[in-house]
Structure 1
Amino acid sequence: MNGLSVSELCCLFCCPPCPGRIAAKLAFLPPEPTYALLPEPEPAPGAGAAPSGSLRASGAAPGRWKLQLSERADFQYGQRELDAMEVFLTKSSRGNRVACMYVRCAPGARYTLLFSHGNAVDLGQMSSFYVGLGSRLGCNIFSYDYSGYGASSGRPSEKNLYADIDAAWQALRTRYGISPDSVVLYGQSIGTVPTVDLAARYECAAVVLHSPLTSGMRVAFPDTKKTYCFDAFPNIEKVSRISSPVLVIHGTEDEVIDFSHGLALYERCPKAVEPLWVEGAGHNDVELYSQYLERLRRLLSHDLQAQR
C-alpha cells in the first residue's frame, strides 16, 4: 500500500470517487514486468528436442508458453527448478488475460497453495520464493498476476482482483484436476483481498491471511469504526462468511498494515486456528522468522488433519 498526503486522503474520502478508484490510488503499484511469456513454437515433424536457450518452463508443447525471466527477477535456482514450472494464460470474466504459474515442488503432494502475492511484485520476482516455500512445505504452488501486473493485461482494480482469482481458481481446478479440499488459499497483504473474497464463496482445505488488511479506509484512517459504501477491500465484512479453517499471520511491528488489522480479522473468523503473531516483524519480513515456516508446516500436518 503506498502512502498519500492528508490533503489527498481528505479529498478522496470527503468527496469519494468510485471504490475502484480509491483502490487504485491506495494499493496498486505494478512493477515493470520481470518476465515474459513467449508462445512455444510447434516442433517440426521428426525434429528432436529443442536446443537449450534462455531460462524456460518445462512441459513445452504446441499451444503452451515458455517463461523468460529478466535479471530483475533474481531467480536463485537453476534449470531443474525451472523445469518444474508451467506457465500459461487464461482469461477472466472481465476479459483480461491472466498470467498463471504452477510450480511442481512436490509431485504427489496432498496440498497446493493458491498464492495471491503482495503489491509491487510479479510472478517473476516471486518465482524463487515459490520454489523455496513449496519445497520446504512439501506442497505445490499455483499463482497468478493481477490485471496490469506482469504478463496480465488490463488495469489493476478491485473488481479485476476478484475476477482474476476466480480465473485462477477455475484454471487450477479444471487444468490440473485439483479438488477444493486439496487447495489452501494463501493471500499476502493486498493479496488477502481476492483471497478473502474467494474463500467467502468457496470452501477449501484452509485459508492463510498473511499481513491482512480489514479495509482500505481502515488502513488510511485507523480510527474508522464502520464500513462505508465507498470503502475498498472490505475484508472485515466478508471474513465471517469463510467456512474453512483460517490461519492469520501478522507482524506486531507492521508499519504498513497495523497489527490490529490481523487481530480484528482473526476475531471474526468462525473457524480460525491458532494465529501466528510474529514479535518484532514488520510488513515485508515475516517470512524471515523461523516461526513462519514452523507454523505453516503445523497447519498442513496437524491442524488440517485434525479438521478431517
Structure 2
Amino acid sequence: MKRLLGAFAFDQQRLTIRSGGRELSAVYVRASDDAPVFLICHGIGEQVEYWSGVQELLKAMGISSLVFNYSGYGASSGRVSVTHCEEDAIAAYWELKDRGHRYIFLLGFSLGSGVVLAVTPAIEVEGVILCQGYSTLREAALAMGFRRWMTYAMPDVWHNLRRLNEITTPVLVVHSDGDQLFPVDMAKRVHEACGLKGELIIVSGFAHDGPVYFPTEAYWRPVVEWSARTSSTMAAVQLPTGD
C-alpha cells in the first residue's frame, strides 16, 4: 500500500462528486476529448489511489477513466451500504455525462462487479466489463472463508448470475487463472449466464488484486481492444500500439 500511495500520479486530477447528501472522492483522467471512458467501481478495501497505475496505462492506450471511492471509503463521506454503493456509481455516471462523454463503459473489479450489474439497467452504457468478479455475493463470501450458514444470513444482493439475465448490454468477463480468491470456474459460470451478449477472456498468472497492484498490458490491453470492438461507433477508434 505504501508503494501504491507513493506512486500516485494524478493529484491534480482529483475531484469531488455529489451523491445524495454525500461527497465522493474521485480521480478523473482524460485521454482526449473524444476518447471512450471507463467508469471504474473498485473492489473491497481499495482506494482510488491504488488505481493510479491502471489509469496511467489506460490513458497511454487512449482510454479516459474515472474511479471513485464509495461512500465511507477513503475520503468519501457517509457510510458503506449496498444502496449507497449503487447510488454512488450512478452519480459518477452522471458526472461523466455532464463532462460530455458519449462512450461510457462500466468496469467492475471484484466487489465492484456486483455494483455495476446492479446499476446497468438504470443507465445507458456501451458495455460492461467484469474483472476478477464473482457469481453471487453469497458465493463470494463463501470463497473468502465465511461459514456457509453465515452466507445465508446475508441479504441476497448483488446476485450477478441473476442480474445478467436482466440486461442486454454487451458484457466482457476477464479473469486470471491465478486468482486464489475467486476461482476461474466462477468466471466461466458468469460468462455462461451472459449468453450471446458475453465474451470471456482468461489471462494467466495474476493473483486476485494483481491487475490493480501490478498493472500490465497483458491484462488491460485485451480489455481496451474489446471496448473498441463492442459497437460500430467505437470501431473507428484508433488504439495506440505497444512497443
TM-score normalised to the size of structure 2?
0.81
Candidates 146, 156, 160, aligned match of 1:231: 156
RMSD: 3.0
Query: In the aligned structure 2, how far is the partner of 1:234 from the partner of 1:203?
Result: 21
2:104–2:126 Cα contact (<8 Å) kept: yes
CA-to-aligned-CA distance 1:251-290 (integer Å, 9 cap, x gap): 1232112222211111111453431112343312246565
Q: Do residues 88 (structure 1) and 11 (structure 2) align?
A: no
Name 2:5's counterpart in structure 1: 73
Identity %: 23
Candidates 187, 204, 220, aligned match of 1:262: 187
CA-to-aligned-CA distance 1:222-245 (integer Å, 9 cap, x gap): 6x8xx9982232222212222221
CA-to-aligned-CA distance 1:86-120 (integer Å, 9 cap, x gap): x3223223x3222222111x212330110111222
Query: In the aligned structure 2, how far is the partner of 1:164 from the partner of 1:110?
Result: 23
1:123–1:144 Cα contact (<8 Å) kept: yes
1:216–1:234 Cα contact (<8 Å) kept: yes
Candidates 157, 160, 169, aligned match of 2:93: 169
Give the length in aligned residue pairs. Answer: 228
C-alpha distance 97-76 of structure 1, shift in aligned 2 (>3 A): closer
Name 1:215's counterpart in structure 2: 136
CA-to-aligned-CA distance 1:113-140 (integer Å, 9 cap, x gap): 10111222211222233122222x2011
Name 2:111's counterpart in structure 1: 190
1:183–1:204 Cα contact (<8 Å) kept: yes
Structure having greater relative contact order (Cα 8 Å, sep ≥ 6)? 2
Name 2:29's counterpart in structure 1: 103
Q: Do residues 129 (structure 1) and 23 (structure 2) align?
A: no
Gaps of 5+ in 1: 1-30, 35-70
2:173–2:191 Cα contact (<8 Å) kept: yes
C-alpha distance 306-247 of structure 1, shift in aligned 2 (>3 A): farther
C-alpha distance 219-73 of structure 1, shift in aligned 2 (>3 A): same
C-alpha distance 124-279 of structure 1, shift in aligned 2 (>3 A): closer
Query: In the aligned structure 2, how far is the partner of 1:306 from the partner of 1:144?
Result: 27
C-alpha distance 124-184 of structure 1, shift in aligned 2 (>3 A): same
2:36–2:104 Cα contact (<8 Å) kept: yes
Q: Which amino acid aligns with 2:101?
A: I
1:109–1:138 Cα contact (<8 Å) kept: no
